């Protein structure tokens, strides 16, 4: 049993201290936190871009704030979330193909994902072209939509340069 440290029985009495050390493996938690820190900072930075743009729009006025929020929500829900979901499925399939050493299937997964992503990008582009009519059908105020068009142009530029 000495060759397999993971199979050795753990005794709670052997742990030193009286607090957190008895409940949580502090070294493991520290390692996981350091491993996740870049991802945490990346996500916080990504959401800060949207937050700052909406905050500045809120200082301009109520209509500008409504337009900025509408633009961010419309772009995120109809575009970013959908494409992120499609990319997430590729990540799962490619990881399985690489792990099983099925490199031919890895290429097929990649090519089919690119075709599907291009197809959905075209659909989303068509949706965004007709977004004024769709939002008016959904009873959005026309002045909020017009403000969304103006602010959306600047938001897209700042998001594209942030990557």
For 71-103, how does the pLDDT look when each residue is reduced to its tens digit (9 = 90+)? Answer: 888 888 888 888 888 888 888 888 888 888 888
Percentage with pLDDT > 70 across the chain: 77
Q: At what angle do helices 142-162 and 26-60 cross, to 10 degrees?
A: 140
Instruction: Summarize pLDDT for 40-57 with one digit per residue, the tens.
Output: 999 898 888 888 888 888
Does the global pTM surpass 0.75? no
More confident site: 157 or 91:
91
Distance of CA 5 to the CA centre of its chain: 38
| Alpha-carbon torsion, ordered 27, 30, 32, 36, to 10 deg | -170
Q: Which residue has the tokens 């017009």?
A: 146
Is the pLDDT at 137 greater than 80? The verdict is yes
Range 84-87 contact pairs with CB under 8 angstroms and sequence separation of 24 or more: 86/113, 86/116, 86/117, 86/120, 87/113, 87/117
Rounded to a whole number, what is the distance in angstroms from the first to the last CA of the chain? 50
Reading the block at residue 11, the tokens are 């005794």
Residue 163, pLDDT > 50, answer no
Q: What is the CA 52 to chain-centroid distance, rounded?
A: 17
Three-class SS state of 77: helix
| pLDDT in the model for residue 80 | 81
**Cα–Cα dist 105/89, whole Å:** 14
User: What was the pLDDT predicted at 113?
Assistant: 86
């Amino acid at each position: 049993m000495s060759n397999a440290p993971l199979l050795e029985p753990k005794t709670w009495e052997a742990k030193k201290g009286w607090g957190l050390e008895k409940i949580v493996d502090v070294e493991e938690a520290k390692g996981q936190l350091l491993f996740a820190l870049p991802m945490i900072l990346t996500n916080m930075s990504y959401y800060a871009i949207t937050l700052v743009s909406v905050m500045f729009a809120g200082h301009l006025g109520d209509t500008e704030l409504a337009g900025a929020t509408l633009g961010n929500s419309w772009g995120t829900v109809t575009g970013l979330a959908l494409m992120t979901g499609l990319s997430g499925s590729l990540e799962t399939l490619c990881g399985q193909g690489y792990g099983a050493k099925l490199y031919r299937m890895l290429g097929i997964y990649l090519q089919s994902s690119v075709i599907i992503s291009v197809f959905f990008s075209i659909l989303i582009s068509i949706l965004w072209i007709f977004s004024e009519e769709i939002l008016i059908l959904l009873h959005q105020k026309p002045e909020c939509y017009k403000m969304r068009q103006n602010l959306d142009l600047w938001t897209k530029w700042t998001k594209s340069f942030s990557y």
